Structure formats: C-alpha cells, structure tokens
Amino acid sequence: MKTAAIAQRYLDFFEKNDHVIVPSASLVSDDPTVMFNIAGMVPFIPYLTGVVPAPHPRIADVQKCIRTNDIEEVGKTARHGTFFQMLGNWSFGDYFKEQAIRYAWELLTSSESDGGFAFDEKDLWVTIYETDDEAESIWRDTIGLKPERIQRLGRADNYWHTGQPGPGGPDSEIFFDRGPAYGKDGGPAVDDSRFMEIWNLVFMQDFIQNVQSGTEFDIVGELPSKNIDTGMGLERVAFLKQGVENMYETDQVRPVLDRAVELSGRRYGAVHEDDVRFRVIADHVRSSLMLLSDGVRPSNEGRGYILRRLMRRSVRAMRLLGVDEPVFPALFEASRDAMKESYPVLEKDWAVLSGAAFAEEETFRRTLAQGSTILDLALNETKKGGGSTLSGSEAFLLHDTYGFPIDLTLEVAEEAGLQVDRGSFDTLMQEQRQRAKADAKGRKRQLADVSVYREFRAHGETGFAGYSDLQTESRVLGIIIDGHPVQTASEGDVAEVILAETTLYAESGGQVADKGAIIGAGFELDVLDVQRPVAGLISHTVHVASGSVAVDDRATTVVDAANRRAAKQAHSATHLVHAALRDTLGQTATQAGSLNRAGYMRFDFAWSQPLSTDTRSEIEDIVGRAVNDALEVTTRIVSLDEAKEAGAMALFGEKYGNVVRMVDIGGPWSRELCAGTHVSTSSEIGLVSLVGESSIGASNRRIEALVGQEAFRELAAERTIVSQLTAALKTPRDQLAARIDELTANLKAAEKRVAQFEAKEREGRVPALVEAAQQVGAYRVATADLGAVGSADDVRTLALSVRERLGTDAAVVAFGGVASGRPIVVVATNDAARAEGAKAGALVRIAAGVLGGGGGGKDDVAQGGGTDASALNTALTAVVSELQGA
C-alpha cells in the first residue's frame, strides 16, 4: 500500500465518520517561539486550549512536520526522520475516549476491502496512563483486548501537555509487535524497538498548573470541554504495510536512496556506514525539498540555517560515498517524483524550488573548495613543525567560520597521515552551544502561552474597519499589562488593549502596523504597535499618554492619515514591482518576502544573478508606466480555489484560509492574495525609485525602493549633488560621468607614480639599514624606527628586503613605523635565526605588548601594533634584549 494511499484511506475513514478534512498547515509554525510545526497537534493548539473557537467539532488531517533535535540519529534507527507526516483526528468538545478508541481500533483492524489497514489484532498492544482506569476498561471490556497486552506507564510516557499551564491529559498509545527478530518479548514497556508505536490517542481532560517539566506539574481540575487529539505516524504505518525494514525504504523515500546508490556506485546493504549515509541523504533531501516548498530558503540563521544544515549534510554524505560532482539535480528530482502525488505543488513550483536547491549546492561546493585549501595549509604547517595532530582550534575554525564539516576534516587529515584533536574540537563545540543557549536564555523553549487571550477571543474576531475608514468607535474588551489581564491602565503605563473593532492595521503580509491613537472620555493612548497574537484577534500595544482607561470603556481608534497614505503607496508599489519583475525576468521570479512602510518598500524574490543596470531601468520603467496609466485597484473576497483559478499570486510559506482577499491592479496584470491596505488607483502611488538591489542568499535577491514623497526627496538630493559637481568641475551635466572617469583615471595614475617613488625611496634606504645592523649574541640584528609610513605593508616590504640582504647568517630584522597615528612593528627572521630559536611571532608579541597592543604571525615574519606610538623605540629595544638573553 503506497504512502499516499494510506493517507487517503485514513482521511476517507474519518470523512465517512463526520469529520471535516482540512489541509496541512505549513511546516513554518505560526508560534513565535518555535521555528517549525514539530508535531501534528501544534497548528491546533489554539483550538485545543480554547483560545480560538474551533471551526468544526470534528476534524481530520495529514500534517507535515519537521523535527531536527535527533538529527544525529537519522539513518541509524528505523524510525528517526527529520520530515514526517502525522495523520490526526480531532474532537473539540464532541466525542471522547470511547469513540476515539473505537475509531482507532476499527480503522487499524478492519480489512483492506472494508477501508481499513488490516493489522492483525494479535500484533497490537496498548499503553495507558498509570491511573486511567476508564481507558483500561474500554480497551478490555469494549474492544476486547487481552489484559496482558494493556500496560500502564507514568507521566513520562503517557501524559500530554503543552509545557504551559492549561489543558493536558492522559494518553493511550497503540503499538505493533514486529516480532522476535527485533527484540525481546514483554510489550512496549520492555522493548520499544520490537514494539513500534503507531498511534497516540490523547484524552485532553485536565487543567494543570505549576508546570516545571514534562513530568512535574499539578493536575488541579477537569476541563469544562474535553477534547481528543490523536496522531498516527504515516511513515511508520507505511513501512509496516509495505513490508520494509524502515521508513527510508518506503515508496516516498527509497527512490532518493536508490538514486544515491546509482550515483555512488556502492551497494546498499553491504557496509553499515555507507547504509547510514544513504539513509541520511534520502531523509535530508526530502526534508529540504519540503522546507523549500513552504518558502524556507538556506541562510545562516533561524529556519534557513536548519535547511542549510540538512542540505549540506546531504552533500557531505555523498562526498563520503565518493561522489564529488553536483548531486542535487538528480536527488531532488527523485524526491519530487516520489512526493508529488501527495504534494502536487512540488511539480508546479519545480523551477523555483530546484533553482534554490542547486544554487545552495554550488555555494557549498565553493565553501568546500575554500575550506580544503585552508585545511591543506594547516596540515602542511603541522607536518612541517613535526606534529602528528591537527589542533582542535584549527578544525573548529574550519567548521565555524568556513562551514567545513568535521567529518571531512577527519577524512582529509587521515589521508595526510595525521590525526585531529577531536577532544579539543568537541570542547569548543560544546562551548559554542552553551553560548547559544545563554543568548537564547530569555526565549521560551516551549510553545507560547497565549491563554491570556482566550477570554477576549471568545467575544469573536476583532472587526477591522480600516479598509474604508480611518476612525471608528469601539469598546475596550480587555487590558493586559506584563502578560496579565487587568481592569485599568493609568497614565504612564504601557499595556495591550483589546477592542471589539479597530481601524488600526495590525502588522502582516510585509506591511508594518499603523501609527495612531486610541482616545475616549478622559484618556488618550499613543499606539506603539498593532499585532495579531492569535488568529482573529487584534491587540494594540499602547502608552497611556493621559488619563486612565478601563475595561468596557468606549474608545475611538484614530489612524495617522499621512502615515497610512504613505504605507498604502508603498504596499501597492510592491505589487507593481512584483508584476514588473515577472514581466522582465519570467514567472520563476517569485516573491520570497517583503517589507512595506511609509515611503519605503523592500521586495525579496527568487533569483540567483544580480540584475543588470538595464534590467533595473526596465523594471523602473514598467512600474512608472503603470503609475502613469492610473490602473484601477480593486479588492474582492473570494474562495481560495476561485483565487487560484483566477491566477492570483500567493506568498510562499504564507497561510491562507478558505476565504481570501484578492487585490487586482489593472485587472489580471497584478493579481495577488493580500490583506494589506492599498491605494484606489496606481497613480496615487506617485514616484517609485529603485535605490538598491542585492543578494540575500544563494538563490534570493532583494530590491529596495523609495516611494512617493520619499522618492522625490531622494531624487531632489541627488539633483543638488549633480549641480554642485557640475559647478565645481565646470562640466555640463551630460559630460559629468566622462569627466569623473577622467579624473579618477588621473588620480589612479598619480597614486601609482607616488607608490613607485615611495618604493624606490624605500629601496634606497636598504643599504644603510643593512650597514647599521649589529651583532647581538648569535644574531645579526637590524632595527629601525622608520617614522611616518603609508601602511604596515611599507614596513613589511622594507623588513623583508633587509632580511634578504643580510645573507645566510642568523639574522633578525625588527622595524617600526607610524601609520595613521598608530604604531606598527614587523619582525622578520631567516632560516639560520630560526634554527637558533628566534621566532618572529614570539618577538613581535613582546614588542606589541610594549606598544599597548598585540600581534602575531608565523615564525619567519610577523606583525603587531598598539596605541602608544611614543614607545616604538622601547618596543624595538625589547626585541634586542630578548635576543641578547637567548
């Protein structure tokens, strides 16, 4: 049974049993404290906690999930994967324990011809919470499961909660016995490798407080409305139904593994280490493709870092399998074909997704080439110094700064006959993790506690009247200070204010929040921010400028009209730029994010090459024509399917409901799903001036533009500068660029002549400096304070010239100078001096210490500096003294 068929069979069963089927939420979590949806229940937490009313009493879905906390276990076990799919059925105040257990048992044990999965009852075991007599009774007396196959476990195994005060409850897990070949008998309490968990039924019935950990909390009462939250692992059911050994060999994953086998020429099942690598590749490529499809792009932080790590681990594993050429074109294509039946968007958006993947591989290949060069130098230095072990600090530098994997460092070092100080490397890695934990100390690691908004959300959605009005009268539903509901807020307080209706736009879709005020009888509130903490609720962060505001007060929201007008211009300009980009570059130049505020817009899009000056001008020209044509801007509320049929553009990774707002500018010329505020006609946008275009990653570019009055001010400032230049250079405006090029060329030529003169002058000083060298112990030592110099390179060049003239006897050169007011010292030694023990790096550190600074370098030449230029002669004398004592 194919994985897609298993999922469909699950949904069909629950649809037949009066559940509304909903699509998977994005992998990108709405919760600000977690990056991804790490479990099937995460998107439903607002409904499970009662903060947001559930749209239906019964729901079923297949939820995409990403979990990377066990990334090092991927490929080593049968069940660890970074991307997985959870089959879930949900009851919000409807059916409870008995019906949830009946549904699970019926679906698992019914024949395939009756729509079930045909698991043999004798192979199924269950666990229940240690005090849940009701669940045991249902399993034993209603289902007929033998008592010896029902096991009671404690909180660590069979109790679920969010990690916050609020709802929780016992659960019952269903396990499949894989047989004696996979471990010892005795049920899941004895061996969870042989007994594989396939379904978890959570009975959300308790209210908990004083949560200290997963097992430390107090159950303080029952919930007034009980919920069912279940999850069945699709990949686990798939590999059991398909008769394979693990999830990597199922139909949605195995094709990538097979392609990796083909590329490497090695056999799967022959060598354990190779098998682990094949499975890592199969898992990580699929996870990467799914993350890309939900709008995540490789980067060095946040979600992008997780994606980059998965992709680079795949490349690394292929390299360890002996494949050095690009592999993503073959591997990602195999994953697309395996997953497209379940996720058709992978084929539809293939050009964009593959472009991002291939660009990241090329970037990493360049990183590997650079890292290999640096590693080779480090290995040669280690060998030259007679060492047999590369230091952990050098291995960490390669990993941390250049992204060079430690596995490759170990491999290359072994080929060179050297070891790596892995213990030191691991210590440095642990220190880095501890620093990262310290940086994140203030962030919650559990799901965000939004229960404070439950009471306010129960009044219904916040009405937004801001599309048509700038003011509206409303009522204060709630006030929150420091995360706690209060009845009043007084002058000087900063608080959140929840209103029944508002005209103030909450930040979303790239558009920043409105500026404005909330006023009422006896109070005035300055609006600092407007956000949507939970779906359907708008919260205003305010500073109480005067008076006191209380719950149930009447209040009027007042939008800053000038700021709103400029923000609308910027947001509509973003739509024009998007349309112009697609006209110019093609349909693959899709939006990857935006920011709109008064007078400014930023637009990120999928593209891997810099835009030429001509292309930028063409985009500006298209936008200018659209503004000049006064295109009508219209909005319509339609179903998501209608919007898609009409060709509306949607932002990658953005969540949309079944009913959406579609914004047209000039009809189909620009048609996007958007909840932002917009002008009535494109002519209201005014001037749009592109001021920047840059890279924000291997496959993404960013355009920045000024809009309206801000664009006019920028161009006026540039006109003033041009006028000043034409006057100063006595050159007509149309000849200004040529005149500046001429002056620049003349300046470069003059600088070159000056540099040649200075080099000749320096070379002329060499004989005198050589002549002045003195014998100091075993060394011939040349020292000099060169006075003012152009740069440290001048001192270094002169020191190396003098060292060469001093011949083959042990010689040390220590020169100093002052560049831009700061002292510089350079020490150079020849082979004979180093054989006597004189090391340039050690000597320069002595001199730099006298100057109040530091320095370093290799044994043959080193450089340092400091802050006290008056101590330069003393610093050089310190070098001589060190050599005298040697």
How many Å apart are CA 361 and CA 358, to the nearest integer? 5
Cα distances (angstroms) measured from residue 206 to each of 99, 168, 219: 18, 5, 6
Helix axes 736-771, 709-729, angle to 10 degrees: 70
Amino acid occupying residue 121: E
Contacts by 382-388 with C-beta closer than 8 Å and gap 24+? 382/418, 383/416, 383/418, 387/418, 388/417, 388/418, 388/419
Give the residue from 735, 875, 658, 665 showing the smallest Cα distance to 20. 658
Q: Does 65 appear as a known binding residue?
A: no
Q: Are 285 and 85 in contact (CB under 8 A)?
A: no
If one counts every other C-beta atom within 10 angstroms of the C-beta of residue 363, the result is 19
Helix, strand or coil for residue 316?
A: helix
Interatomic CA distance for residues 829 and 815, integer angstroms: 12
Could you tell me the two tokens for 681?
A: 């006609």
CA-CA distance, 385 to 841, in Å (whole number)? 14
Question: What b/e readout covers 344-359, taking b as 16+ CB neighbours within 10 angstroms?
Answer: eebeebbebbbbbbbb
Report the alpha-carbon distance of residue 675 to residue 466 in Å, rounded.
Answer: 11
* Token code pair at residue 153: 């476990």
Instruction: Give the type of residue at 157.
Output: D
Quote the distance between the C-alpha of residue 486 and its chain's center: 36
DSSP 214: S
Contact 563, 596 (CB under 8 A): no
Whether the Cβ atoms of residue 699 and residue 361 lie closer than 8 Å to each other: no
Long-range contacts of 768-775 (CB under 8 A, 24+ apart): 769/798, 769/802, 770/802, 770/805, 770/806, 773/802, 773/806, 773/811
571 is in an annotated binding site: yes
Q: Which helix (H) or strand (E) holds 205?
A: strand 195-209
| Cα dihedral across residues 537, 593, 69, 250: positive or negative | positive
80 is in an annotated binding site: no
How many CA atoms does the CB half-sphere of 819 hold within 13 Å? Answer: 15
Q: What is the 3-state secondary structure (H, E, C) of 559-607?
A: ECHHHHHHHHHHHHHHHHHHHHHHHHHCCCCCEEEEEEECCEEEEEEEC
Instruction: Give dist(CA 422, CA 861) in Å, integer.
Output: 30
Distances (CA, A) of 455 to 450, 542, 551, 720: 11, 20, 13, 58
**Which one-letter DSSP state was computed for residue 787?**
E
Residue 543 assigned ligand-binding role: no
- End-to-end CA, the chain: 80
Query: Distance (Å, rounded) from C-alpha 839 to C-alpha 303?
Result: 47
What is the sign, positive or negative, of the torsion defined by CA atoms of 549, 550, 556, 558?
Answer: positive
Annotated binding site for Zn(2+): 571, 575, 674, 678
Annotated binding site: 571, 575, 674, 678
